[in-house]
Amino acid sequence: GGGAGAAMADGEGLVSVDYEVHGKVQGVFFRKYTQGEAKRLGLVGWVQNTTHGTVQGQIQGPTARVRELQEWLKKIGSPQSRISRAEFSNEKKIKALEHKEFQILK
């Protein structure tokens, strides 16, 4: 750690970001693991499969925690998944969370 002052201040703000993950991400419990990781980090939002074989959703929470889940979505995912790339869009600062929890949408 170290240098917590400035970094913490930045991490205090809430952000919302949309994501889409490409690769072998359907049929490998990707949504379940994403929900578990989001809950562990204290984030809210949603995740769902798309008709074109990707997984998409939205993450909301403290900036630093959202960054952690973004890294997880880019590099780790569920054990059987093979992530080719993760795209993030529509990132914005928010005053309050717009979701109650992190849901898996059908």
Catalytic residue among 49, 65, 67, 90: 49
Integer-rounded Cα Rg, in Å, for the chain is 14
Is 90 among the catalytic positions? no
Q: What separation in angstroms does the CA of 28 have from each of 41, 46, 90?
A: 21, 17, 27
Annotated catalytic residue, options 31, 40, 65, 67: 31
> CA-CA distance, 20 to 86, in Å (whole number)?
6
Active site residue 31: yes
Q: Which residues participate in catalysis according to the annotation?
A: 31, 49
